[in-house]
Amino acid sequence: MRFNFVSRKNISLFFLLCSSVLLVVLSVFSKAIVLDTTHLWSILLTVELFSVFVSVSIVVILFQRTFIAKSNFSNTLIFCFTAIAMIDYFQLHSYPKVLGDVAQGSMLNAVFYYISSRIIELMAMAAIAFHLQLSGRKVFWLLAGILCAIAIGYIGLKHLNNLAASAYLLSSLADLKTNIECILLAANSVLAYVFIRQYQTHNKDKYLYFAGSCVAMALCSLALITQAGPSNATLLISYLFQIMAAVFIYAAIYWSELKRPYHLAKIAAEQAHKKDLELQSIMSSIPMGVIRLDKSCNFLYINPYMQRMSSYIDASLIGKNVRDYSPQSVSTLLIPYVEQAFLDNKVEFRYEYTDHDQQVVYREVTLLPEKNLEGSVESVLYLAADTTKKETAELNKDKALKETNKLRKALNEHAIVAFTDVRGVITSVNDKFCQISQYSKDELIGSTHQIVNSNYHPSSFFQDLWQTIASGNIWHGEVCNKAKDGSLYWVNTTIVPFMDNDGKISEYIAVRANITKRKLAETAARRLAYYDELTALPNRRSLKDRLEKVFKGAEDSALNINALLLIDLDNFKDINDSLGHVAGDELLKQVAHRLQQLGTSSLFAARLGGDEFVLLMTSVGQNKHSACVEVAKKAEQIRASLSDIYLIEKQTVSTTPSIGVALFDGSEYNASEFLKQADIAMYQSKKLGRNQVSFFDPELQTQLDKRNVMQSELVQAITRQEFILYYQPIYNQQQTMIGCEALIRWNNQELGMVSPAQFIPQAEQSNLILDIGHWVLHTACQQLSSWALDPNRSHLTVAVNVSARQLQQVDFVESVKRAIEQHGTNPNRLKLEITESMLQENIEETIQSMKTLKDLGIRFSLDDFGTGFSSLNYLTKLPIDTLKIDCSFVDNMINSQEDAAVVAMILSLSSALKLDVVAEGVETQEQLAFLMDKGCESFQGYLLGKPMPADAIDGD
């Protein structure tokens, strides 16, 4: 065990341990010590009173503890030492009976109180050693200790006196007391060992004091059991051990609860004083004026620098008001800012005033609110910097610049001037150069004129220029340069070489005049007629002229294969919508630039409009096979180039081209036809997944022709009454028909019976779907009204499919109402079927329209459920009555666990939402049995009934 005997606490502890050893020695010779009974009474009374005082002091000290985290530890000691103090007090009143010649029952009371007190004390030490804590308020455990002591006192007064006359009890009392003392000796020894181990582990002095207390209590018990009949001196020594134990506990609690906190507070005060001195030193040397103001704008603190900086502020103003000792102009300006700072705002401002010497003084001030512990602003810190020198310098600088600018303005108004050294490095430029080039002087000086090179002129142009001026001659010409933002400008340039004294060229001066407007005027007409304004590429008219030249040249030469490449940017609309039209235009410019870089004498690039570009390749081969190989190679090169990343407004943008190729020779003269073929091939690339190169195939033309024929016939189908409504029955579990679904058929005189899968998608791409939907709705309503007169079919419902285009029409609700009213249809027998894909746009407007029709009695079905993307959140909001399980799930559910699970899920979901369910595409008995077993209510499919004319529906 390690002890630090340098510590004053440990020196005291060592002294107490030595005293304990001395008392042990005295206890050995206690038989030889004879004390008068009266003297012993006085000593014991004093010792017992001291014991009570120590116990009470411990309780009082623990009541001062402020650390809430330790309150449970305090409760343990408060409870135990409150009880010990009162029990020792009760024992004090039993001494006359013990010392006098009185009844033996008094001895029983004294022993009872002594044992009770020591057992509680042992419990207290055990609770401390093993960290047993009592939760709650301190006063409750104080009252509990008092009640415990009163209970023990009551037992000692009321119940033990009746047993005093028993000689047997008194003889056994001695043995009992000896046994208890042995237990106390052993327990206190164990606790002393535990506390010593805790001291070694945690190195806290209180554990050493607690160990000393346990040792003293053990010695007390040892002193009482070593003598067969304890003498008065032995009794006194045991009580001294008992007092010593209490003193040890008092010392531990006094140090941890009073002396150590005060010691820490003293150290904190000393550190705070040291910090205060350091702060004062910093505030004295900081090169900034510092003032503290209270809410009344009284000075609370002024640092020395502020006193030196200001002619009217010194330390004598502390406690006085700013308004009384500041220039009126300053105080009038300052007070509103100070009031704003007291509202917990940081305030920054500048001001100027004239001091006593009539000098203008400039200040930069920051006001910082200072909060107290409650979080309210109680003072404001005023930080001021003297910026007089800086402001004066700035004023002088501005004055000089104004004079210089007058001279420069005159020069800049006359010409664009630049100086270079013999290597062409710019050494000086005037403002007009910076203005027209959009570069700053710092960017231009040290660079060459390559910084404004537009790449408009060929390299031979500048070779001639340098050859002229390097020979000492003046060069004059028109140059196209590029500004910083990429725009081009034209200058009429004169470059003059300057010679040094040795006749060598030392520098060049270039004097330029802006002729951009004139050059633009010269080219505007031609550009408007033949070039695209955005990309500067040739336009459709220019392409037509180029094709005419190709055809004309082919007449006088051998036949060569030419190629038209039509390029369309994939997802350009998405880029335009997400990044804006400015970014979209920039993308088109960069695409055009890349196409120009790929250009050769045999390759001509043009923009047709939008995101469509055309490349004309001439003389790519003398037969189609070799031409295809050459064009495919070039087309792939173009596709790769246009697929590279684009940098637009510091953002990377990706797009890919879909390219269609049409080959032709000079034997035919039809530019429009070739463009059409290239367009067909381009759309084939789109269908193949985009970012593809496709050559025109005559089969594509055939398909296009068929599509055009169908479109033409579809326009007249309603007028010719070629549409027919078929009705497919819907049955319940009892195989009773409960309704049917209206399915359109088209019987065209030219095309025959056309499947809806062919003409409906084509109709949806145009407004024809609206006319067709209108016809279907009115025809179905008319049929419902007709069936209403037939008892066998009046109960049937008719489901009508509604297209997305119909549902999004502003007058959709009104058109349905008109159809019902026109034909006198019972709205309760009409069902409108929508699909999941229709719920992905304008969902709130869709729900509102459906609710309006729902109020009329019309019911809604959600068709093809499970095949699209439906939000369950919206599903609960939609006013639908029926879910229709898509036939793709029904078809595979017998052999696919996944599809079977989906069907079961839809049935469970519809049951939870209290919706009807119709299974589509039921074609086998096995499917029907499976669905009925899963609880499906209604069925539709070829097993039960195929689509049929209205007359074939019998309603059974």
Pairing of strands 882-885, 859-865: parallel
Q: SS3 helix, strand, coil % of the chain, rounded to 5?
A: 55, 20, 25
558 pLDDT above the threshold of 50 = yes
What length is written for the chain? 956
| pLDDT top residue among 367 and 928 | 928
> Would you call 803 helix, strand, or coil by DSSP?
coil
> Would you call 40 helix, strand, or coil by DSSP?
helix
d(Cα 455, Cα 458) in Å, to the nearest integer?
7
pLDDT for 726: 94
Phi, psi angle pair for 603, to nearest 5°? -130, 125
Residue with tokens 């007028």: 719
pLDDT for 31: 47
d(Cα 209, Cα 199) in Å, to the nearest integer?
9
Confidence of residue 285 (pLDDT cuts 50, 70, 90): low
At residue 25's C-alpha, the angle toward residues 216 and 50, to 5°, is 45
d(Cα 1, Cα 197) in Å, to the nearest integer?
8
At residue 704's C-alpha, the angle toward residues 702 and 710, to 5°, is 105
pLDDT for 396: 80
Angle between helices 232-254 and 8-28 (to 10 degrees): 170
Confidence of residue 103 (pLDDT cuts 50, 70, 90): very low
Among 421-430, 603-612, 704-713, the range scoring the smallest mean pLDDT is 704-713
**Token reading at 885:** 């399980």
Residue 55 and residue 33 in contact, taking contact as beta carbons nearer than 8 Å? no
Phi, psi angle pair for 615, to nearest 5°? -120, 130
pLDDT for 4: 43
DSSP 325: H
Question: What does pLDDT average to over the chain?
Answer: 80
Share of the chain above pLDDT 70, in %: 81
Confidence of residue 5 (pLDDT cuts 50, 70, 90): very low
**Token reading at 292:** 């503290």
Among 255-269, 647-661, 726-740, the range scoring the smallest mean pLDDT is 255-269
d(Cα 837, Cα 839) in Å, to the nearest integer?
5
Rg (CA), the chain: 54
Residue 583 and residue 525 in contact, taking contact as beta carbons nearer than 8 Å? no
**Token reading at 267:** 């150290």
Residue 412 and residue 435 in contact, taking contact as beta carbons nearer than 8 Å? yes
Q: What is the pTM of this model?
A: 0.40
Confidence of residue 404 (pLDDT cuts 50, 70, 90): low
Q: What is the mean pLDDT of residues 586-614?
A: 86
Residue 429 and residue 418 in contact, taking contact as beta carbons nearer than 8 Å? yes
Q: What is the mean pLDDT of residues 246-267?
A: 66
pLDDT for 930: 93
Cα of first residue to Cα of last residue in the chain, in angstroms, is 105
Burial of residue 633 (number of CB atoms within 10 Å: 0-12, 13-18, 19+): exposed
Residue 407 and residue 413 in contact, taking contact as beta carbons nearer than 8 Å? no
| pLDDT top residue among 703 and 486 | 486
Confidence of residue 97 (pLDDT cuts 50, 70, 90): very low
**Token reading at 724:** 């027919």
DSSP 257: I
d(Cα 654, Cα 570) in Å, to the nearest integer?
10
d(Cα 855, Cα 111) in Å, to the nearest integer?
96
Pairing of strands 938-940, 723-732: antiparallel
Among 312-326, 601-615, 800-814, the range scoring the smallest mean pLDDT is 312-326
Q: Which helix (H) or strand (E) holds 699?
A: helix 698-715
Pairing of strands 916-920, 882-885: parallel
CB atoms within 10 A of CB 217: 28
d(Cα 935, Cα 932) in Å, to the nearest integer?
5
Among 237-251, 456-470, 629-643, the range scoring the smallest mean pLDDT is 237-251
Of 256-265, 520-529, 618-627, 937-946, give the range with the top mean pLDDT.
937-946
pLDDT for 100: 44
Burial of residue 264 (number of CB atoms within 10 Å: 0-12, 13-18, 19+): exposed
Q: What is the mean pLDDT of residues 547-564?
A: 72
